[in-house]
Amino acid sequence: MWVFSTAGCRWLGAAGSLAVAVGGWAAGTLPVRGGAGLWEPHGTGATVAGSVLAYLGLTLLIAAWWQYGRVLRAGRDGSGGRGGRAGDARDARDVGDSGAGRRPLVTLGWWAAPLLLAPPLYSADVYSYIAQGAMVLEGHDVYGAGPAVLGPGELGYDAAASVGGHWTHTPAPYGPVFLLLAQAVVKITGGAVVPAVLGMRLVALLALALIVWAVRGLAPEGRGDGAVWLAALNPLLLVHVVGGMHNDGLMAGLLLAGVLLAVRHGRWAAGGAVIGLAMMIKSPAALGLLFVGIVVARRRGGAAGLAKGLLPGAVAVAVAAGASMAAGTGFGWLRTQSVAAGIHTALSVTSDLGLGLGLLVADDPEPVKGVVQKLGLLAAGAVIATIAWRVGKGRVDPVLGLGLSLLALVALSPMVQPWYALWGTVAVAAAGAWEERGGQLLAVLCAALTYETAPSGHTPAYGFALAGVALGLGLWWARREPWGEPGALPVSGPRTLPSEAGARGRG
């Protein structure tokens, strides 16, 4: 059928993305003030209709994405797997790396374009970003207070009114590089809500471009288009990075760009510097230094290699220190890294378990919850250490190791949002694991998580129900048409790097 072809997937996904955007004009995360007559509430009926339209569009987008992945994989093995069609393999000639490698990028453009002028979708975080940038310009301590300190007449006052309740009085957990970007957007737009939001969307598009470039550069030969499918065409990324403008996309893009420079091109100093910039967006990017350091150490070997493996981290620390001083915000970001842990999210297994145990054994559940959260972080550390050891022994690809480590960190963190799954997903995609069994299951998880949040940014009960349905259908599909060998993600050793010997001395 035409709808199952690459052209059909492109049109179907574009229609779904357009429905999400149109629905968002009525049911998105609309500003409380400063909508300029463009982004304004239209009553309960329009809000409900817009939400239904957005969910229907999201379903079309996810269906198109899954089928597009099947077509890509059919081009890899010539069959499409059990339940596939010979037409999938023929159609995949249009999207494979040989001859038409730009086709997935064209599809990405079609799917992302409808979201560009939409109001904020699935989150109010962009209003926090604008307000925090304005706080710095107005002389407020962004690491000591929340957007509520902005008063009438100050830049960002309208944006602050739309900040989500938890974050109104919460200091910024972001690094100074991101605050510099937010300041620039506020300064250029004068803090007006609509232009400032669109300015932040330009930053999100920069993040998307970085992710695509880095993923294609890191992916093994012949797997670049599939890596783009799992990383950038992923509906979870489209709605939360392009639609919601979460800075997680910029962190991931800079992180992968730094890894690409260090691991594929041997430019460990440049890679460390770019990872340092990623850390100054959000701190989990620091994990990249561990795996880059292992790669650098293995190239040299011995005690000298171990010492050299610390150098990318030293460069990143220097960049972080320089950025902190240049931004004028100081090192306050060091004390705000744990502020998010005080906000309970239902996706955090350790927070849920800790709260449940606390209610059972104590009058005040918070101390018990805190202990369980810390144990979860210790467990994540143990998992990461094990993965790093295997990477050091050459048993796991370093890019894959980074992706798995980020996924473990998210799974065991005290606060988990749906889009946090993107941290590890983009790295797993870049490692070329998209067409393996674990990559398929990761795609199912991403699709399910996309349903969890409503266009308004709230997390209603029906969102979890829809996510459960999507997860069930996805697992049924994965069982009916399994990709790769049964089991976990591939754990092949690091691929041969170009000019490895000559790269040892390059910075």
Rounded distance between C-alpha atoms, residue 131 and residue 137, angstroms: 10
pLDDT at 87 over 70: no
pLDDT digits (tens, 9 = 90+) for 197-207: 999 999 999 99
Identify whether the C-beta of residue 419 lies closer than 8 Å to the C-beta of residue 248.
yes
Residue 102, pLDDT score = 65
Q: Would 384 be classed as within a structural domain?
A: yes
Q: Would 226 be classed as within a structural domain?
A: no
| Terminal-to-terminal C-alpha distance of the chain | 52
Rounded distance between C-alpha atoms, residue 214 and residue 219, angstroms: 8
Taking the CB of residue 326, how many other CB atoms lie within 10 A of it? 11
Residue 56, pLDDT score = 97
* Burial class of residue 367, CB neighbours in 10 A (0-12, 13-18, 19+): exposed
pLDDT at 79 over 90: no
Q: Would 367 be classed as within a structural domain?
A: yes
Identify whether the C-beta of residue 333 lies closer than 8 Å to the C-beta of residue 174.
yes
What are the b/e assignments for 37-57, b being 16+ CB within 10 Å?
eebeeeeeeebeebbebbbeb
Higher pLDDT: 1 or 123? It is: 123
Q: Would 64 be classed as within a structural domain?
A: no
Cβ-Cβ contacts under 8 Å for 470 (sequence gap 6 or more): 62, 447, 448, 450, 451
pLDDT digits (tens, 9 = 90+) for 250-285: 999 999 999 999 998 889 999 999 999 999 999 999
| Confidence label for 434 from pLDDT (cuts 50, 70 and 90) | confident
Rounded distance between C-alpha atoms, residue 221 and residue 217, angstroms: 9
Nearest Cα residue to 115 out of 189, 13, 261, 268: 13
Question: Which residue shows structure tokens 């925090």?
Answer: 132
Over pLDDT 90: what percentage of the chain? 69
Taking the CB of residue 468, how many other CB atoms lie within 10 A of it? 13
pTM of the model: 0.90
Taking the CB of residue 15, how many other CB atoms lie within 10 A of it? 18
Q: Would 209 be classed as within a structural domain?
A: no
pLDDT at 96 over 70: no
State the residue range of the domain holding 387.
348-416
Question: Which residue shows structure tokens 């850390």?
Answer: 279
| Confidence label for 2 from pLDDT (cuts 50, 70 and 90) | low
Average pLDDT of the residues in 108-118: 96
pLDDT at 83 over 80: no
Q: Would 380 be classed as within a structural domain?
A: yes
* Burial class of residue 101, CB neighbours in 10 A (0-12, 13-18, 19+): middle
What average pLDDT does the structure give for the chain? 87
pLDDT digits (tens, 9 = 90+) for 324-354: 888 888 888 888 877 777 778 889 999 999 9
Nearest Cα residue to 123 out of 351, 464, 459, 349: 459
| Confidence label for 72 from pLDDT (cuts 50, 70 and 90) | confident
Identify whether the C-beta of residue 237 lies closer than 8 Å to the C-beta of residue 249.
yes
Residue 1, pLDDT score = 62
- Give the chain's domain count: 1
Rounded distance between C-alpha atoms, residue 449 and residue 426, angstroms: 15
Q: Would 337 be classed as within a structural domain?
A: no
Q: Would 398 be classed as within a structural domain?
A: yes
